[in-house]
């Protein structure tokens, strides 16, 4: 008895880990093994078998797959989906007595140990397939490098634990079930986990179609896949070829194939086809949406209470994720962007479409292709989303923030025609004129905010000030209603910085000094379209796990704004297409509203708009650095622009994409404004009666004086969106071919 244990221990200590112990089911050694089992306390111990990492697929709203990704390239299959010759080959080389012994096979262990020692290396495996399965489960389940190292550590204690687990596995499953699990968990090299992925990766076929020489190749690979990985070079391929031939010789030796069959198979070349496994968002037709869905699972507590739980949920995979992606809207967005911005352009256009009343993201697109190749001008992050969803730091939102001040004014009781006189410049009357939400005085009397070069003073109302996007008017309006109140209004509509940092609470907040992403801005505008109901942007409606259990996810919405206040804002903003900064571009033939956004010094250009059925936001800026690379004197989409305004490109993209996205969708009207509540003007806020009617065209109701760029300091942000009348169509400079 003692000599047996010493021999076993010596074999383990010598590093012959593949020559593991296995218990004979019957035979004369039974008493000896029974004694060994008692002395070593070898009792079955239940092994936790977490689900194997599998690929996850993404479906659009109609159930059509548009992406798949995985952290391990694996497709688990049943044993009857694996060629018989593959089963024969793996058993022959790894554990030819597999169907005869139990968990401990002392005979096989000692024979393998002796042969390996005499051969000067590992010639024959001794670990049973059951033991190998146990080790692979422990390694796969490890959550740290230390746990992985412990799972394969060359120690006697580790081998004994492995044996205890193996005893339980032999009691729990049939031999066929163990073999199936082993073939699905094994790593074969070249990034292929499991026999199905390996068959496709190596030979471009399913495991059910493997031939003798192909099966022998894969059976030979499992012993040391890192040394025989054909992707790593010529030497590794040669080692894999040699291992294949060893498997064929062993099969012939055991009588599983004839010597002639072995010889014919050995004459074959390696035949590695290097079939890349499709997967990852970069290979999806809609990569930005794919990326957003991944990050949504990682960040949303609906998918796990802790970051670790969500990460594990995603990495284990095997999920079928149904999303809100609408391919009609998505393709309309992509076509519109491509019409005005090239993939090779340095400035980038990005767009998101969100449904009012549900928050469902219908589309997410950008002018650049997704990927890592800088020479091809690809982007490796999601330009339409915030950092939390795989995006970047965003761009200053400019005048798209002015509606939050407008909403605050309406919410406080101001009427459509309430207003006040403004000049071409604005200075805070005191530091205390603006207070952030902590009560700090943030007014800057020394800093002047200006309108555009032609924009003088005059009486502006909520309506004309909005349509003209007048900087000085909105600074005065924000002073009137309160900076903190405006910030709270924006937050109620879901506004947060793209980089995840706190909002900048300065006096120029209304001019859009905060960097934003299109998803967030579109969701905020969708709130107005939904009559004050804010819905958190959502990309996932259902997840079905590997066992077929489906979990639905519903919209998360709440009323954050008085319905009639939202109606009044929509009423004002709907005239942007006929009397405001989108006049030259025009509307979309159905009730719609929106706001252009041009930032100070032309660092970015936006348009955000909505109908009751769909909202969308389009940003344009240079990701190399908006202030260092502004939109002045630039060529975009093959056209030269002296200056780029919100309507120049972003507005046109918005119009074209919305026309395509809403094609076939019956138009819904806005709820009419409550004229009793918001009509006319309040005492003391009405426009003074003119002494004499101006003898000129235009007027305040035609967009009038505007604020094209906020000629304040470099930190102003915001700005107006309509150029001087003689600067060319739609707020852009004359286009020069």
For the stretch 500-530, pLDDT in tens is 999 999 999 999 999 999 999 999 999 999 9
Q: What is the mean pLDDT of residues 333-350?
A: 96
pTM over 0.95: no
SS3 49: coil
Residue 26 binned pLDDT confidence (cut-offs 50, 70, 90): very low
Q: Residue 357: exposed, middle, or buried by beta-carbon count in 10 A (0-12, 13-18, 19+)?
A: middle
Digit-coded pLDDT (tens) for 441-455: 999 999 999 886 435
Name the DSSP class of 255: T
Start-end of CATH 3.40.710.10 domains in the chain: 393-515+565-656+701-731
Q: Please provide the DSSP assignment of 408-477 as one string.
A: HHHHTT--TT-EEEE-SEEE-SSGGGSB-TT--B---TT-EEE--TT---EEEEHHHHHHTT-HHHHHHH
From 522, 476, 484, select the one nearest 503 (Cα to Cα). Answer: 484
Digit-coded pLDDT (tens) for 149-190: 777 777 777 778 888 888 999 999 999 999 999 999 999 999
540 vs 522: CA distance, rounded Å: 17
- Give pLDDT, residue 101: 84
Q: Residue written as tokens 């079939």? A: 275
From 475, 474, 471, 529, select the one nearest 667 (Cα to Cα). Answer: 529
Does residue 21 carry a pLDDT above 50?
no
- Give pLDDT, residue 365: 96
What is the CA 100 to chain-centroid distance, rounded?
A: 50
Q: Please provide the DSSP assignment of 523-549 as one string.
A: HHHHHHHTTTEEE--B-EEEEE-TTS-
Digit-coded pLDDT (tens) for 109-124: 666 555 544 554 444 4
What is the CA 201 to chain-centroid distance, rounded?
A: 26
Please count the residues of the chain. 737
For residue 73, which phi and psi values (nearest 5 degrees)? -75, 100
3-state secondary structure string across 637-691? CCEEEEECCCHHHHHHHHHHHHHHHCCCCCCCCCCCCCHHHHCCCCCCCCCCCCC
Start-end of CATH 1.10.3810.10 domains in the chain: 2-55+71-266
162 vs 130: CA distance, rounded Å: 9
Express the helix, strand and coil content of the chain in percent, nearest 5 each.
40, 15, 45
Is 594:637 a contact under the CB 8 Å cutoff? no
3 vs 5: CA distance, rounded Å: 5
Does residue 462 carry a pLDDT above 80?
yes
For residue 388, which phi and psi values (nearest 5 degrees)? -65, -20
Q: Residue written as tokens 């262990």? A: 109
648 vs 652: CA distance, rounded Å: 7
SS3 621: strand
158 vs 342: CA distance, rounded Å: 59
Residue 599 binned pLDDT confidence (cut-offs 50, 70, 90): confident
Residue 600 binned pLDDT confidence (cut-offs 50, 70, 90): confident
pLDDT above 70 as % of the chain: 84
From 306, 441, 391, 357, select the one nearest 623 (Cα to Cα). Answer: 391
Q: b vs e for 501-532, b when ≥16 Cβ sit within 10 Å of the residue's Cβ?
A: eebbbbbbbbbbbbbbbbbbbbbbbbbbbbbb
Alpha-helical runs (H) found in 515-619: 518-529, 563-573
Give CATH superfamily name and number for 393-515+565-656+701-731. Answer: DD-peptidase/beta-lactamase superfamily (3.40.710.10)
Give CATH superfamily name and number for 2-55+71-266. Answer: Biosynthetic peptidoglycan transglycosylase-like (1.10.3810.10)
450 vs 708: CA distance, rounded Å: 9
Both tokens of 289, joined, read 């949406």
Name the DSSP class of 285: S
What stretch of H or E contains 558? strand 557-559
183 vs 87: CA distance, rounded Å: 9
């Amino acid at each position: 008895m003692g000599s047996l244990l010493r021999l076993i221990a010596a074999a383990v200590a010598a590093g012959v880990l593949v020559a593991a112990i296995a218990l004979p089911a019957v035979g004369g050694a039974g008493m000896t093994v029974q004694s060994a089992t008692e002395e070593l306390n070898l009792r079955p111990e239940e092994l936790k078998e977490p689900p194997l990492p599998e690929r996850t697929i993404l479906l659009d709203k109609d159930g059509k797959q548009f992406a798949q990704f995985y952290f391990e390239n694996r497709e688990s299959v049943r044993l009857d989906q694996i060629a018989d010759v593959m089963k024969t080959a793996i058993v022959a080389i790894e554990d030819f007595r597999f169907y005869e012994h139990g968990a401990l096979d002392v005979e096989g262990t000692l024979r393998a140990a002796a042969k390996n020692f005499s051969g000067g290396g590992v010639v024959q495996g001794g670990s049973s397939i059951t033991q190998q399965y146990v080790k692979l489960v422990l390694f796969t389940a490890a959550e740290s490098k230390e746990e992985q190292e412990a799972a394969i550590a060359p120690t006697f204690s580790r081998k004994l634990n492995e044996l205890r687990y193996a005893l339980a596995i032999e009691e729990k499953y049939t031999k066929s079930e163990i073999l199936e699990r082993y073939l699905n968990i094994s790593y074969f090299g070249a990034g292929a986990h499991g026999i199905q992925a390996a068959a496709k990766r190596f030979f471009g076929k399913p495991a059910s179609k493997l031939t003798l020489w192909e099966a022998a190749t894969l059976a030979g690979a499992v012993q040391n896949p890192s040394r025989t990985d054909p992707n790593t070079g010529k030497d590794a391929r040669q080692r894999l070829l040699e291992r294949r031939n060893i498997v064929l010789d062993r099969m012939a030796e055991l009588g599983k194939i004839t010597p002639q069959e072995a010889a014919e198979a050995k004459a074959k070349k390696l035949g590695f086809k290097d079939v890349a496994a499709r997967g990852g968002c970069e290979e999806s037709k809609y990569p930005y949406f794919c990326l957003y869905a991944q990050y949504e699972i990682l960040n949303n507590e609906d998918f796990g209470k802790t970051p670790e739980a969500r990460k594990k949920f995603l990495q284990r995979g095997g999920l079928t994720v149904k999303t809100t992606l609408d391919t009609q809207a998505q393709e309309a967005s992509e076509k519109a962007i491509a019409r005005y911005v090239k993939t090779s352009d340095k400035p980038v256009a990005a767009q998101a479409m969100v449904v009012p009343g549900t928050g469902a993201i219908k589309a997410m697109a950008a002018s650049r292709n997704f990927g890592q190749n800088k020479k091809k001008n690809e982007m490796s992050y999601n330009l339409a989303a915030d950092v939390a969803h795989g995006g970047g730091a965003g761009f200053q939102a400019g005048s798209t923030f002015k509606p939050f001040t407008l909403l605050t004014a309406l919410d406080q009781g101001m009427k459509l025609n309430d207003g006040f006189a403004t000049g071409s410049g604005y200075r805070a009357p005191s530091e205390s004129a603006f207070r952030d939400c902590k009560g700090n005085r943030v007014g800057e009397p020394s800093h002047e905010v200006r309108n555009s070069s032609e924009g003088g003073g005059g009486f502006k109302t909520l309506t004309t000030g909005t349509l003209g996007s007048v900087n000085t008017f909105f600074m005065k309006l924000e002073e009137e209603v309160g900076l903190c109140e405006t910030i709270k209004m924006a937050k109620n509509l879901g506004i947060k910085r793209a980089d995840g940092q706190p909002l900048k609470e300065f006096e120029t907040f209304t001019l859009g000094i905060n960097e934003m992403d299109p998803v967030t801005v579109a969701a905020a505008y969708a709130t107005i379209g939904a009559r004050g109901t804010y819905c958190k942007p959502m990309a996932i409606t259902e997840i079905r796990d590997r066992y077929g259990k489906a979990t639905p996810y519903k919209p998360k919405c709440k009323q954050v704004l008085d319905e009639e206040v939202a109606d009044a804002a929509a009423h004002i903003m709907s005239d942007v297409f006929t009397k405001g900064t989108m006049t030259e571009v025009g509307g979309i033939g159905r009730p719609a509203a929106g706001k252009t956004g041009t930032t100070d010094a032309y660092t970015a250009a936006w348009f955000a708009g909505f109908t009751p059925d769909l909202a969308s936001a389009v940003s344009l800026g240079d990701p190399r650095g908006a202030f260092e690379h502004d939109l002045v004197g630039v060529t975009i989409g093959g056209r030269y622009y002296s200056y780029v305004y919100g309507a120049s490109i972003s507005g046109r993209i918005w119009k074209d994409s919305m026309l395509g996205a809403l094609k076939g969708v019956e138009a819904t009207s806005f709820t009419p404004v409550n004229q009793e509540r918001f009509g006319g003007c309040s005492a003391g806020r009405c426009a003074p009666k003119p002494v004499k009617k101006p003898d000129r065209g235009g007027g305040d109701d035609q967009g009038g004086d505007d604020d094209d760029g906020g000629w304040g300091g470099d930190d102003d942000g915001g700005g107006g969106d309509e150029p001087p009348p003689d600067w060319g169509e739609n707020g852009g400079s004359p286009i020069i071919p």
